[in-house]
Amino acid sequence: MIDTKKRIVVLLGPPGAGKGTQAAYIKERFHIPHISTGEILRDNIDKGTPLGIEANKFMHKGDLVPDDLVFDMLKDRVQQNDCAHGALLDGFPRNDDQAEMFFNMEYVSTNAKVSAILIDIPDEEVIKRLSNRRYCPSCKSIYNLIHKVPKKKVGNAFICDNCGTELIIRDDDKVETIKNRLKVFHNTAGPLIDYFNKKNVLYKVSGMTSLEDVFKQIVKILE
């Protein structure tokens, strides 16, 4: 029997959990597009669509783009041909209201299998991973002093393998900033995780293993 359901995946997890890497793996394995709400916003703004013009009014002032505007852009995006068999959503839904809108979408409510996958890692692991990241301001390469250590070091400074520039710690990888990002994540994601759990579509995978092992856990859920 052929399964005709659309496969819709929502990835959840704190910063540093490896969502970006797993999203790339899922996209390649299951042939579904990775849809980022941030990219949808930028695309609409760049193209000067009516929705993009409206969204830019909020972004220009530093305000959050309203849920219904983001939702309208998402509805347009999933009507494209590459979403016929499903999609991997990144950045939506972000709260209970958006989750309600998400499940009421015709694209989701009609013949779709939703899997909300939480990549679970403790806060101390998030701090460890992100505070060990180093960034090249010239060629944009990213290193990690745990598993992707630069080959060169001058004094206390690490040097980019690619272009020889001194690596830096980005502001969002500083410990105090990481702790604040975690606080924001728990405040916003907690209710959303509960919501998906009540819908019986939440799956937890351990993010404390290798990237390959995390993906194996995800494949078992999606296949």
Assess whether 181 carries a catalytic annotation.
Answer: yes
Catalytic residue among 7, 77, 134, 181: 181
Q: Please, what's the largest Cα pairwise distance for the chain? A: 63
Assess whether 133 carries a catalytic annotation.
Answer: yes
Assess whether 129 carries a catalytic annotation.
Answer: no
Assess whether 113 carries a catalytic annotation.
Answer: no
Assess whether 19 carries a catalytic annotation.
Answer: yes
Q: Quick check: helix, strand or coil at residue 30?
A: helix
The one-letter amino acid at 63: D
- Cα distances (angstroms) measured from residue 50 to each of 45, 59, 79, 101, 201: 9, 15, 17, 21, 34
Catalytic residue among 29, 140, 170, 220: 170
Catalytic residue among 6, 7, 129, 133: 133
Catalytic residue among 27, 94, 128, 204: 94
Q: Are strands 86-90 and 34-36 parallel, antiparallel or unpaired?
A: parallel
Q: Are strands 142-144 and 152-154 parallel, antiparallel or unpaired?
A: unpaired
Catalytic residues: 19, 94, 133, 170, 181
